[in-house]
């Protein structure tokens, strides 16, 4: 790939902006971290109660034996597909507009996988016996497939996050001011792997990125397919369907797009990245999201029409509870606010703005969690024997742990954004160049204490 | 196991909770609210109800055994499906997989009588109950070894429950002995949710207690009781 | 329909067991034909023929063939055959040999208004070793790759078996899941290749 010729001042601005968050913290950031830690602490307390008392402190019981935990597991594994889509699928198709947000998308992938993988562990009745999965693991079990797939995906996406970071680590290493702490310099030196940008190194890095880009796509598809199989391998009426694999993968990419749009909007504002993340990125991702509303709607139509036409025994109950029964509100919220409204917001030229698309993405994120909740809880509620349908209300423990998981997600993203450049500086500089419709560059002076770290350009 | 529904009246005639469930709870110290053999009341096509005592179906193609990630649920060489509560990690995927609602989780410290605590644990009788693990009907292999019928079959006042051996093709309810294959065919026995392909080892002979004089229109049974709700220190019970 | 049959059968049993009030009934003779020996696991044909004192066949009479059986604390006569004689006076049926114990058969005609009751017995000795006849077919199976979980008892390791796959399984029982293992090995070796490229990047950056 030939490097673009870009204006030197532009590149300098990009490097400064890209590295600025690394150069210091504000009081606001410290408060934010403290707030997240407090939420996590409440969640940890709730989990300690759960370990002490057993799962009786949750709202789950024999008949609805999975609840918020497994729904959130599916949700977080779903949004982890953001990175794969943006950096792998779009990179493979040689799209260039997404280069300024690939790094964020890869953060989401790694962090969402870390948080998502915690949920099955939290859900265990005997977390002390977790090693049994290694000692007595049976490959025939869908849960083992999850263990294999998620550990593979986490390893692969961590590697894939790291590869394009190498030249940026070198940049950090070279641009660190003389007063930067010694550990930071040592860290960047180690992580930069002696990167000097020689043609041989570029060739090797390009090759590594290409290999990982290709292998990560089937791994990502397999991950969400086997996540759906913990349901689809069951004989329960709403789960016993072939559409679950593709449907879960589509839902995963759908919520992944929404997650990256939200994160992009937040970081763009907080880190002043308006020059590199413009309406182009929002509209392109918005169109993708709109396309996925159609795919999701199509998958739902397929599922509900093929079963609803025949009205097998359990489905009569399932339909009633979703459409007119106890799950009526969440279900119609999902249909209206999760499928119809986001699509309309993106397709209507008047709302096809950065705020409009961000609102659509928030709607999608919220309703996709609801959708996962409906799959798990409404699915398990369908009686399999002649008994009165059970009810499930999450307890404070589950709510606290869920809140802690979101806080952990935000915390890890916040820390990542402080430690690593949130924009793939070298890729934007070399393969994208200035954004076509970027706002006029305003050279904001960096706060004084940040100048210490980003002293001067390397000679 | 063969359950002759013609003879099951949900223990309406003795005016007690279902005695199969009661005997099972007594024998296994099954914690509340677990009814390992549960008597469901299901509607009949022409109105009225029938009672269906439902133990673990001991499926040959057992969904729970297939999905267990650690092999804590397994087939014994005789084919019985047991749970090793000392290996179970409590993921509850088996409860999601079981299409008969026959698995029970120890959500908290289960109420059990003190004598349960003195038993040596074995997957064959599952006492004492271990918090955070799954339990279910175990087909009483320890009872069979000592030449006795399972608790439920012993407890049934109408001798509706036959227990047998598919290998020797024989079954008994304690009173009479039948040739299993012939008994099933002659009485047009069926299995629950046959269409799922789970191949249960529990067979039902259709009926609604008519052989013991129950009218299908007489609905309702006495609720199951657990004699030791609060007899274990720190125990909590819950609802299903 | 079934209930009607059952009711009729109940009435019939009652009628059969009721003491005969007819003083002079004709004698009847029952003959039970069964092979003297049978192999374990085999299904044999058994027949009974009911005739009157003159040797003429009696049709429409109910014949029950039973054998004494015992299981746990239950014992008694288990019905093996239950049928009505045809116009030739015969009933026939099949019996599966499921035990190595000699099989004692007893056929019985309960008598009716015209004929006296009659009985016949036969004894079948069983040859051959007892092997497991009942085969459970359980579990998620991939043909030729793995056995049903727990088919070999509490141990959940798949059986070894012959051939290359079998030897592989001896090395690592979980290899019976080799489709998954193969996918994992492929993906992880690609990861390893990418990591090896990292080392080459490092050495390519070394200053001469």
- Is C46 domain-assigned? yes
CB pairs under 8 A between A and B: 138
Same structural domain for residues C100 and C48?
yes
- Is A453 domain-assigned? no
Query: How close does chain B come to C86, measured CA to CA in Å?
Result: 20
CA end-to-end span of chain B, whole Å? 26
A390 touches chain B (CB under 8 A): yes
Q: pLDDT digits over A328-355, tens only?
A: 999 999 999 999 999 999 999 999 999 9
Please name the member of A139, A156, A200 whose beta carbon is closest to the beta carbon of C204. Answer: A200
Q: Which residues of A touch B49 (CB under 8 A)?
A: none
Search chain A and give the residue with CA nearest C196.
Answer: A208
**Do the chains contact at C204 and A198, CB–CB below 8 Å?**
yes
Q: End of a domain among C127, C154, C178?
A: C127
Q: pLDDT digits over B161-212, tens only?
A: 999 988 888 999 988 999 998 999 999 999 999 999 888 999 999 999 999 9
- Kindly calculate the radius of gyration of chain C based on its CA atoms and give it in whole angstroms: 33
Is pLDDT of B116 > 60? yes
Please name the member of C73, C99, C150 whose beta carbon is closest to the beta carbon of B147. Answer: C73
- Is C17 domain-assigned? no
Measured over the CA atoms of residue A118, residue A124, residue A127 and residue A130, the dihedral's sign is: negative
Is pLDDT of A1 > 90? no
Q: Which residues of C touch B170 (CB under 8 A)?
A: 69, 71, 78, 98
pLDDT of residue A179: 67
Are the CB atoms for A70 and A123 separated by under 8 Å?
yes
- Kindly calculate the radius of gyration of chain A based on its CA atoms and give it in whole angstroms: 23
Same structural domain for residues C48 and C122?
yes
**Do the chains contact at B74 and C3, CB–CB below 8 Å?**
no
pLDDT of residue C9: 52
- Is C7 domain-assigned? no
Could you check whether the bond before residue B128 is cis, i.e. omega within 30 degrees of 0? yes
Is pLDDT of B91 > 90? yes
Give the mean pLDDT of chain B.
91
Is pLDDT of A169 > 60? yes
Query: How close does chain B come to A401, measured CA to CA in Å?
Result: 17
How many angstroms separate the CA atoms of A59 and B239, rounded? 11
A60 touches chain B (CB under 8 A): yes
The structural architecture, per CATH, of the domain B2-212 is 2-Layer Sandwich (3.30)
- Is A455 domain-assigned? no
Search chain C and give the residue with CA nearest A149.
Answer: C184
Q: pLDDT digits over A19-66, tens only?
A: 777 777 788 899 999 999 999 999 999 999 999 999 999 999 999 999
Same structural domain for residues C108 and C188?
no
DSSP string, C76-95: EEEEEEEEE--TTSEEEEEE
pLDDT of residue B169: 87
- Is C187 domain-assigned? yes
Choose the mutation target among B96, B104, B197, B224 for the interface with A, i.e. most A CBs under 10 Å: B96
Q: Which range scores top for mean pLDDT: A218-227, A421-430, C1-10, C112-121?
A: A218-227
* HEC-encoded secondary structure of A180-249: CCHHHHHHHHHHCCCCCCCHHHHHHHHHHHHHHHHHHHHHHHHHHHHHHHHHHCCCCCCCCCCCHHHHHH
Tally of structural domains, chain A: 1
Higher pLDDT, C16 or C192: C192
C187 touches chain A (CB under 8 A): yes
Q: Report the CATH number at residue A85.
A: 1.20.1630.10
Q: End of a domain among C67, C101, C127?
A: C127
* C-alpha of C56 from chain center: 38
pLDDT of residue A456: 42
Choose the mutation target among B52, B54, B55, B107 for the interface with A, i.e. most A CBs under 10 Å: B107
- Is C168 domain-assigned? yes
Are the CB atoms for A57 and A50 separated by under 8 Å?
yes
Least confident range of A345-349, A423-427, C46-50, C146-150: C146-150
**Domain span at residue A366?**
8-435
Chains contacting C (3+ CB pairs below 8 angstroms): A, B
Search chain B and give the residue with CA nearest A234.
Answer: B97
Please name the member of C187, C194, C206 whose beta carbon is closest to the beta carbon of A219. Answer: C187
**Do the chains contact at C74 and B75, CB–CB below 8 Å?**
no
Please name the member of C69, C133, C153 whose beta carbon is closest to the beta carbon of B76. Answer: C153
**Do the chains contact at B101 and A384, CB–CB below 8 Å?**
yes
- Is A447 domain-assigned? no
How many angstroms separate the CA atoms of A157 and A180, rounded? 30
pLDDT of residue A455: 44
Three-class SS of residue A124? coil
Q: In terms of residues, how long is chain B?
A: 240
Q: pLDDT digits over C124-182, tens only?
A: 998 887 776 666 554 455 544 444 444 443 333 333 445 555 555 555 544 456 677 78
Give the mean pLDDT of chain A.
88
**Domain span at residue C188?**
163-204
Query: How close does chain B come to A45, measured CA to CA in Å?
Result: 18
Same structural domain for residues C30 and C114?
yes
Q: Report the CATH number at residue C106.
A: 2.60.40.730
B110-137 mean pLDDT: 90
Query: How close does chain A come to B190, measured CA to CA in Å?
Result: 16
Chains contacting A (3+ CB pairs below 8 angstroms): B, C
A360-364 mean pLDDT: 96
Percent of chain A scored above 90 by pLDDT? Answer: 61
Please name the member of C78, C82, C154 whose beta carbon is closest to the beta carbon of B170. Answer: C78
- Is A1 domain-assigned? no
pLDDT of residue A441: 56
**Do the chains contact at A136 and C156, CB–CB below 8 Å?**
yes
Least confident range of A110-119, A423-432, B148-157, C75-84: A423-432
Is pLDDT of A366 > 70? yes
Same structural domain for residues C30 and C90?
yes
pLDDT of residue A4: 64
Q: Checking DSSP bridges between strand C37-39 and strand C118-127, what pairing results, if any?
A: parallel
Same structural domain for residues C103 and C173?
no
Query: How close does chain B come to C137, measured CA to CA in Å?
Result: 6
Same structural domain for residues C120 and C175?
no
Q: pLDDT digits over A243-298, tens only?
A: 999 999 999 999 999 999 999 999 988 888 888 888 888 999 999 999 999 999 99
Reported as type and span, the H/E element at residue B55 is none
Nearest-CA neighbor of A103 among A418, A422, A433? Answer: A422
Q: End of a domain among C80, C105, C127?
A: C127
Please name the member of B65, B77, B182 whose beta carbon is closest to the beta carbon of C149. Answer: B65
């Amino acid at each position: 790939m030939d490097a673009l010729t870009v204006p030197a001042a532009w590149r300098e601005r990009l490097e400064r902006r890209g590295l600025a968050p690394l150069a210091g913290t504000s009081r606001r950031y410290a408060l934010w971290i403290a707030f997240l830690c407090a939420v996590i602490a409440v969640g940890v307390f709730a989990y300690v109660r759960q370990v002490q008392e057993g799962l009786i402190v949750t709202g789950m019981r024999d008949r609805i034996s999975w609840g918020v935990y497994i729904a959130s597991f599916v949700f977080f594994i779903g949004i982890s597909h953001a990175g794969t889509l943006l950096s792998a699928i779009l990179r493979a198709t040689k799209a260039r507009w997404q280069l300024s947000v690939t790094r964020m998308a890869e953060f989401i992938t790694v962090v969402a996988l870390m948080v998502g993988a915690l949920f099955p562990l939290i859900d265990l009745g005997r977390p002390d016996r977790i090693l049994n999965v290694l000692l007595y693991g049976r490959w025939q079990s869908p849960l083992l497939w999850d263990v294999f797939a998620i550990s593979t995906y986490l390893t692969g996406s961590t590697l894939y996050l790291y590869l394009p970071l190498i030249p940026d680590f070198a940049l950090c290493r070279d641009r660190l001011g003389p007063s930067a702490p010694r550990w930071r310099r040592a860290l960047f030196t180690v992580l930069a792997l002696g990167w000097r940008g020689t043609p041989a190194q570029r060739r090797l890095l390009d090759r590594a990125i290409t290999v990982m880009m290709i292998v990560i796509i089937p791994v990502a598809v397999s991950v969400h397919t086997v996540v759906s199989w913990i349901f689809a391998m069951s004989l329960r009426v709403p789960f016993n369907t072939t559409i679950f694999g593709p449907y879960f993968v589509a839902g995963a990419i759908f919520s992944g797009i929404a997650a990256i749009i939200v994160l992009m909007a937040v970081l763009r504002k907080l880190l002043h990245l308006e020059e590199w993340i413009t309406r182009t990125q929002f509209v392109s991702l918005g169109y993708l999201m709109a396309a996925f509303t159609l795919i999701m709607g199509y998958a739902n139509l397929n599922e509900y029409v093929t079963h609803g036409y025949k009205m097998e025994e359990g489905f009569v109950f399932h339909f009633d509870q979703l459409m007119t029964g106890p799950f009526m509100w969440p279900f119609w919220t999902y249909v209206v606010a999760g499928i119809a409204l986001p699509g309309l917001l993106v397709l209507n030229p008047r709302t096809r703005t950065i705020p409009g698309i961000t609102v659509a993405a928030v709607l999608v994120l919220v309703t996709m969690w609801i959708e996962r909740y409906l799959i798990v809880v409404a699915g398990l509620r369908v009686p399999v024997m002649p008994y009165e349908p059970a009810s499930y209300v999450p307890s404070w423990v589950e709510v606290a742990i869920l809140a802690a998981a979101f806080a952990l997600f935000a915390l890890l993203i916040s820390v990542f954004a402080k430690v690593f450049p949130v924009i793939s500086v070298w890729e934007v500089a070399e393969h994208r160049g200035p954004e076509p419709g970027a706002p006029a560059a305003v050279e904001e002076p960096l706060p004084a204490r940040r100048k210490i770290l980003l002293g001067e350009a390397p000679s | 196991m063969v359950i002759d529904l013609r003879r099951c009246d949900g223990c309406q005639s003795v005016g007690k909770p279902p005695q199969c469930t009661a005997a099972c709870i007594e024998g296994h110290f099954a914690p509340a609210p677990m009814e390992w053999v549960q008597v469901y009341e299901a509607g009949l096509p022409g109105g009225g109800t029938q009672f269906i005592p439902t133990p673990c179906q001991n499926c040959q193609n057992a969904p729970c055994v297939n999905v267990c990630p650690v092999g804590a649920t397994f087939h014994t060489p005789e084919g019985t499906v047991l749970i090793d509560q000392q290996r179970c990690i409590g993921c509850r995927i088996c409860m999601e997989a079981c299409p008969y609602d026959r698995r029970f989780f120890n959500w908290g410290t289960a109420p059990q009588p003190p004598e349960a605590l003195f038993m040596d644990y074995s997957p064959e009788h599952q006492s004492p109950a271990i918090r955070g693990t799954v339990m279910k009907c175990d087909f009483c292999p320890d009872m069979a070894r000592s030449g006795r019928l399972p608790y439920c079959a012993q407890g049934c006042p109408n001798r509706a429950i036959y227990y047998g051996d598919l290998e020797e093709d024989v079954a008994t309810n304690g009173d009479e002995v039948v040739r299993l294959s012939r008994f099933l065919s002659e009485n047009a026995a069926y299995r629950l949710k046959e269409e799922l392909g789970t191949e249960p080892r529990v067979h039902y002979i259709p009926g609604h207690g008519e052989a013991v004089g129950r009218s299908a229109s007489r609905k309702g049974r006495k609720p199951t009781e657990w004699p030791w709700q609060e007899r274990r220190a720190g125990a909590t019970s819950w609802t299903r | 329909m079934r209930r009607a049959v059952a009711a009729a059968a109940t009435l019939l049993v009652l009628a059969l067991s009721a003491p005969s009030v007819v003083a002079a009934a004709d004698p009847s003779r029952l003959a039970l034909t069964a092979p003297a020996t049978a192999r374990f696991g085999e299904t044999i044909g058994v027949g009974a023929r009911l005739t009157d004192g003159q040797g003429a066949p009696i049709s429409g009479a109910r014949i029950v063939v039973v054998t004494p059986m015992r299981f746990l604390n239950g014992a008694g006569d288990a019905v093996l055959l239950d049928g009505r004689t045809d116009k030739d006076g015969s009933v026939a049926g099949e019996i599966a040999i499921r035990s190595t114990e000699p099989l004692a058969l007893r056929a019985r005609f309960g008598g009716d208004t015209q004929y006296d009751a009659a009985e016949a017995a036969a004894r079948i000795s069983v040859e051959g070793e007892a092997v497991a006849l009942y085969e459970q077919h359980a579990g998620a199976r991939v043909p030729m790759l793995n056995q049903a979980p727990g088919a070999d008892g509490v141990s959940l390791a798949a059986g070894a078996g012959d051939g290359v796959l079998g030897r592989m399984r001896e090395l690592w029982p979980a290899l019976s899941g080799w489709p998954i293992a193969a996918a994992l090995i492929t993906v992880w070796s690609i990861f390893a290749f990418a990591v090896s490229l990292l080392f080459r990047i490092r050495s390519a950056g070394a200053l001469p």
